[in-house]
Structure 1
Amino acid sequence: MESYKLGSSEVLSSRLIYGCMRVVGDNSNKSRKKGKQALLTAIEQGYNHFDHADIYGGGECEILFAEVLKELSYDRNKIIITSKCGVRKKDNPYKNDPARYDLSKKYIIKSVEGSLKRLNTEYIDLLLLHRPDYLLHAEEVSGAFLELLNSGKVLNFGVSNFSPSQVSMLQSYCEQPLLVNQVEINIHNITSLTDGTLDQCQQLKITPQAWCPLGGVAYPAWGNTFTVEDEMRIKSEFDFQAKKYNTENWIIMLAWLLKHPAKILPIIGTTTPSRIKDAKQALDIHYSREDWYRLLEARQGYAVP
């Protein structure tokens, strides 16, 4: 699979990232077996970048991933492990504690140490702050990054779901460049195209990663407010383009994201082996500028001015 450098670093990521959020499912033996097969397929298909978070599956997703690597005796240096921290669930650690964000230095370091143990690895290639903490102290975060870097526990840093102003503020305090901003991008949610996120990524050499890249195509996107008429119009254009490129609608969605000059890296989260494999078709589509704008027009319901 083709690869791209992450941000301003020399770290080479596969153009498609495999998202591990669903690999344990309901954590039954059947679900874990399915998740293992999904991970094996991703590795076989050339995905070298795996996206985790401390909260995925209550930590079980990281544990399952470590089990797969151990069973394969896979070379740790051949893969990129991303993990995220900062989201705390309700009743954690005490009953009646609210759901909240926590990007304090103490909690960042504690989260990383937990992920390292579950992943059975000495280092995390890329640590992302999962969501912006309204009580974030940038100097404290910078101190956490520096301590983790100097200890060798984390090699690179980035953010997730941060606005351009939040990225700028945090970067102004950090010695280490922020390599990634992971945000929701799909046909229903194009906020990153209009709020300056993708512009900033190009300006500062930050790699945008798209979570939920198939929202509105394979399944409903978060906060969907589209009408039935909207959905029919969008689907009609997807159908037309899928026929033109001899592929499926969801592959066109990936091609639409890949066309953007910010070099978006979509996160593929399916646990179906055939779809993990078929997602690579998007890399071979010579998607035109005209079709990109046709899909945008179908999404908006009107032509660009």
Structure 2
Amino acid sequence: MSRKIPLQQRGFAVSRLVLGCMGLGGGWKRDPLTAEDLRAAHEAVDAALNAGITMFDHADIYAYGKAEQVFGQVLAERPELKEKMVLQSKCGIRFEDGPGGPGRYDFSKEHIVQSVDGILGRLKVDAIDILLLHPPDPLMEPEEVAEAFDQLLRAGKVKTFGVSNMNSAQMRMLQSSLDVPLIVNQLELSLSKLDWIDAGVLVNQKPGAEVNFAQGTLEHCRLENIQVQSWGPLSKGLFTGRDLTGQPDHVKQTAALVQKLAEQKETTPEAVVLAWLMRHPAGIQPVIGTTSPERIRACAAAMDITLTREEWYSLYVTSRGKKMP
């Protein structure tokens, strides 16, 4: 069954996959951008767009700001590309303020507004489509966040808002002070991190006490038509070709099953792993983190296949390493 995912239902012309841009800009070092960094960014953007990926995910901290900066250079050289894209960025994480200073989260109005100004400057755009708050700030004041969101909306700098790594209670608390809906929640979901499924499967069972995923989060997102995005969906290549020396048997068996299904469907292992997430009725939107054009194309093949219930369960049961309860 094919249906629009929540962002598409809200009118966004987005693809089922998102290109995560954390790997752009030369990595986590403070060296200046190079011509090679810019070339790699052009190639990644072209590979994504040519493969039908139209949404791009950033954060103000990625590569210490250089990921957005090099993406902005791409847009400055080819401004026509902006019309083909939906741009999303995140703010809320602060690095240490000098030696010994605390790394922390900051959802204060001042920081959110200043962060967006920095994002727009680096991306060289007047507005972004979606702003996400990065991991939950324990000192969050919902009313203050609402003031920041309202100011950014009125200034035309951000069109919509969402969060990352929040549970349903945190989202409801924040939403209670907002005049606009939260439309995205970005969570770590993958074939190697199954607690988001196990939390539902193991309700009222003793093993469920060991599951580290907040009950009701996925259900809340589905009820409120909030787009669930998956970060880390490829498990760093665990099932798509990484060396598995020393890995548990169930990991090796899952990788073998992924390869078998890829051969049967005449597609790539990456496509099978991502299609497994996309088969879930929450309409999950995987955020792929590769900048390799070849691997971007391999991932994009996921948009052309659909797993059966039997195939989905075979991957789930094999990956969890034990039979269904």
TM-score, normalised via structure 1 length: 0.90
Instruction: Give the alignment's TM-score, normalised by structure 2.
Output: 0.85
Equivalents in 2 of 1:219, 1:130: separation in Å?
Answer: 30
The amino acid that maps onto 2:165 is N
Summarize deviations over 1:70-101 as a string: whole Å, max 9, x none: 222315343211010000112x3x43221110
Which secondary structure does the structure 1 equivalent of 2:14 belong to? Answer: strand
> Residue 282 of structure 1 aligns with which residue?
302
- Say how many residue pairs are matched: 297
1:295 equivalent in structure 2: 315
Aligned to 1:223: none
1:155-181: CA deviation from partner (whole Å, max 9, x where unpaired): 100001111221121112211100100
Q: Report which stretch shifted further, 3-12 or 14-23.
A: 3-12
Secondary structure of residue in 1 paired with 2:176:
helix
Q: How does 1:62-141 map to 2 (within 5 A)?
A: 62-74=68-80, 76-90=82-96, 92=97, 94-141=98-145
CA contact (8 A) 2:268 2:298 kept: no
Q: 2:164 aligns with which of 160, 165, 177?
A: 160
CA shift for structure 1 position 303 = 2.5
Partner of 2:178: 174
Distance 1:75 1:302 in 2: 47
Unaligned runs of 5+ in 2: 28-32, 200-214
Return the match for 2:287 from 245, 267, 270: 267
Q: Partner residue of 1:246?
A: 266
Q: Deviations over 1:94-149 (max 9, x none)?
A: 43221110111110001001111111111111000011001111111111111111
Whether the 8 Å CA contact 1:8–1:206 is kept in 2: the answer is no
Which consecutive residues of structure 1, in runs of 5 or more, have no partner in the other structure?
221-225
Cα distance, 1:240 vs. partner? 2.6
Contact 1:51/1:82, CA 8 A, preserved across alignment = yes
2:25–2:67 contact (8 Å) kept in structure 1: yes
Task: Name the CA distance, whole Å, in 2 between partners of 1:151 and 1:202.
Answer: 30
Alpha-carbon distance in 1 for matches of 2:247, 2:45 = 36
Q: What is the percentage of aligned positions where both structures have the same residue? A: 39
Give the Cα separation in 2 of the matches to 1:149 and 1:256: 36
Indicate the RMSD between aligned Cα atoms, in angstroms: 2.1
Alignment match, 1:24: 25
Return the match for 2:149 from 128, 140, 145: 145
> Quick one: structure 1 residues 297 and 159, their matched pair in 2 at CA, closer, same or farther if it must change by over 3 Å?
same
Report the more deviating stretch, 161-170 or 36-45. Answer: 36-45
Q: SS of the residue aligned with 1:83? A: strand
Match of 1:56 among 42, 57, 62: 62
Deviations 1:4-25 (A, max 9, x none): 4517632221111111110122
- Pair 1:206 & 2:226 matched: yes
SS of alignment partner, residue 6 of structure 1: helix
